[in-house]
Every structure is written in structure tokens, then in C-alpha cells.
Amino acid sequence: MPIAYCCLDCRQPLEEKPGYYQCPKCRHQYRVFAGVPNFKPGEIYPGEERVLEDLEKQYDKMSFEEFLNYADSKKEKNSLPWELRRTMRFENKSGAEKQKWLENYSQEVIIKAGQEQIHVTNILLRYAKGQIRHETCLDIGCGRGPWAVMAAKIYQQIYALDMDMASVIIAKKYCADQGINNITFLAASSSALPFPDNAFDLINSQAVLEHVDIQLKSLEEIQRILAPGGYFVGDSVNRYNMVTPEPHIDLRLIGFMPKSLAHKLSLAIKKFPYDDIKPLSYGELTAMLRQTFGTKYKIIPFVESLQPSLTQSVLKVMPPCFLKHFNHTHYILGTK
């Protein structure tokens, strides 16, 4: 059974109209672009709506590869730090490297990343007590869709959302190209989810919490829409990571500096902003999870990656109290 979208203002089930959803009570309308409903508040960068209208026009006319190139050329620069970081890495590649990247898109962006994330999901679910249901799953901050695409092979019905609607449209186009038809894509913010209470059996959110503007509100929303007995699996980059370079800017021990200094240093050395990333310490994450999940959560300090490395072998033998405070990532399992 599909889950009915709810109005963000008054939680009424929305009515589907041609090209939009409408709230029967407050009459609020939520526009649909290229088959993706838009529930996020406002534009996330200036000119976003124009970009989305262009993407909608081209959606059916282009192959996936053409569409991906087109979408990447459309993004407004200096507006979305996460995309800026990705685009700048891409811009440093030569023409041949770009072509190779496009040819390997499935393998590099979707399959490899998706397999790693499903592996994390499975490891975290081993800590779950009782029966695990997977009928309705949600990926929050799905980006271009690695978790959702791999999960679609295992689970029945998947919803995948992101604030960045262009990424969601690209992910939808990829799935259409690959014949994957059990994922429903939407654009929304994790801090205002257009779903009724208790809707999902499994909620995943990996590589997202440190990007989210209102982290506590997002965890509250996740807990609200999780079904009783359902599970939330996620991760959170550790501010006091002592074992690897900070994954967004590739600088070591940056979390030990005051945040404003870390941002300035990142701009000076890496030319990337860092004020949009909010990694939590173990204490901060614990406090937020306690407020939202009560006692029904666990923080798992280490999950062995599918990719063997020297760092992984060393981390495996580290005492849990060290890992809890100083490993690169905290893994989260929540229930209700």
C-alpha cells in the first residue's frame, strides 16, 4: 500500500491533482517536477526553480548520460556547498577522466557506495531485538540514490527523499533507465517530513546528519514517522575523529579547532567551505538521541567496512571506549 503524503502545515492527507498535491484543509499546494513532488521549504539555492523547470523539460528527451551532463551544467555555482564540493572535484578531472567517470557512474556512484551502505544497514540491524520488518522503507538524504537502488533489490517498497531536488530527479531518471520501479522519489527536508506518524518499518540515513541544518528536529521527525517496532539506521561523522582525515575536506584533527577557525582553514587550504558541515561529538549525539528516542537507541562505535585497509585492521583491535570518542563515525540504531 502506498503511503499517503501529508500536509506539512496541518498533517491532512493530500489530494493528488495534475502537476501538484493539494491540502484539502489549508489549500497549500506542493508542485511536482518531473514526477517528483516538492515538499521542501523554498529554494535551496537562488534560481533552483528555474533549474528544475529546465530539468523537467529535458527529462523525457534525453538518455540518462545526456541528462546527467545537462543537470551538472545547470547547477548554480557557489550556492549549494555539498554540490560545489562535488562539482569542484569533478572540474579538476581531465576530459578523458570525466568520460571514464561517466562510463563508471553505475559502479562508482551507485553500486559500490550502495553495497557499502547496505552492509552497514545489515550490521546495525544485527543489534536489533525482535522481528525486523522491511515492507516500507525510507532513505533520508538519498542524494543520487545508492542506498535506495541497492535496497530496491531486497525490500518491497522504498521511498527516497533529499533536499536537493536535482539529485532526486537524476536518481529517478537512473532508476527509470535501469528498470527499477519500486522506489518513490520526493524532495523534502528531514526536519519537515510529509508523512503520517508510524509510517515506516525501516528508515535509513547515511552520510547525511552532519549536513542537516536542524539535527534535533530531524531526529524527532524520524522518530515520529517510524512504526512501533521499526528501526532507524544511520550514521554521524564524529567531530573528534582522530583516526582519518575529515571526510568532507580531507584535513586531519580539524574537529579539535573552534568551528570558525576550521572553516577559514578549509577555505584557505582546500578552497571548500566547512561552515555547512556540523559533525557531532559522542556527547552531543547521545544527548540528541536521548531527547528523541528516549532509551531506545544504540550508538555503535565501529562497523568494519567492506573495503579492507590498514586503518580498518588497526581500528578493529582498538578498545571500544577509544572508538566511541575518537573513531571517524558513530553508527546509530534507533527503534520505537
Q: Which residue has the cell 560545489?
A: 84
DSSP 107: I
| Residue 7 interacts with ligand SAM (CB under 6 A): yes or no | no
Q: Which three cell numbers stand for residue 260?
A: 570558525
Q: Which of residues 59-118 bind ligand SAM (CB under 6 A)?
A: 82, 113
Under rule CB under 5 A, residue 158 binds Zn ion: no
Interaction partner, residue 164 (ligand SAM, Zn ion, none; CB < 5-8 Å by kind)? ligand SAM
Catalogue the E-assigned strands of the chain. Answer: 15-17, 20-22, 29-33, 36-37, 136-140, 157-162, 183-187, 200-205, 226-237, 297-300, 329-335
Q: Which residue has the cell 539529485?
A: 167
Least Å from the CB of residue 85 to ligand SAM: 9
Q: What cell does 34 get?
A: 518531473
Beta-bridge partner residues of 21: 16, 30
d(CA 51, CA 72): 10
**Residue of 189, 238, 292, 327 interacting with ligand SAM (CB under 6 A):** 189
Contact 208, 176 (CB under 8 A): no
- Which of Zn ion, ligand SAM, none does residue 23 bind to, with CB < 5 to 8 Å depending on kind? Zn ion
Rule CB under 6 A: say whether 211 interacts with ligand SAM.
yes
The neighbouring-strand residues paired with 147 are none
Closest contact distance (angstroms) between CB of 143 and ligand SAM is 3
Is 7 among the residues that bind Zn ion (CB under 5 A)? yes
Angle formed by the axes of helices 48-58 and 64-74, to 10°? 160
| 38 near ligand SAM, rule: CB under 6 A | no
Tell me the C-alpha distance between 241 and 322, whole Å: 10
- Nearest C-alpha neighbor of 143 from the set 179, 120, 109: 109
- One residue of 6, 21, 23, 172 binding Zn ion per CB under 5 A: 23
Applying CB under 6 A, what is the total number of residues that bind ligand SAM? 20
Around Cβ 134, how many Cβ atoms within 10 Å? 18
163 binds, among Zn ion, ligand SAM, none (CB under 5 to 8 A by kind): ligand SAM
Nearer to ligand SAM, 141 or 255 (CB): 141
Q: Is 172 in the site for ligand SAM (CB under 6 A)?
A: no
- Which three cell numbers mark 131? 522481528
Q: Which residue, 177 or 213, is less far from ligand SAM as judged by CB?
A: 213
Q: Which of 14, 149, 160, 162 binds ligand SAM (CB under 6 A)?
A: 162
Chain residues that interact with Zn ion, rule: CB under 5 A? 7, 9-10, 23, 25-26, 28
Chain residues that interact with ligand SAM, rule: CB under 6 A? 82, 113, 140-143, 146, 162-164, 167, 189-191, 206-208, 211-213
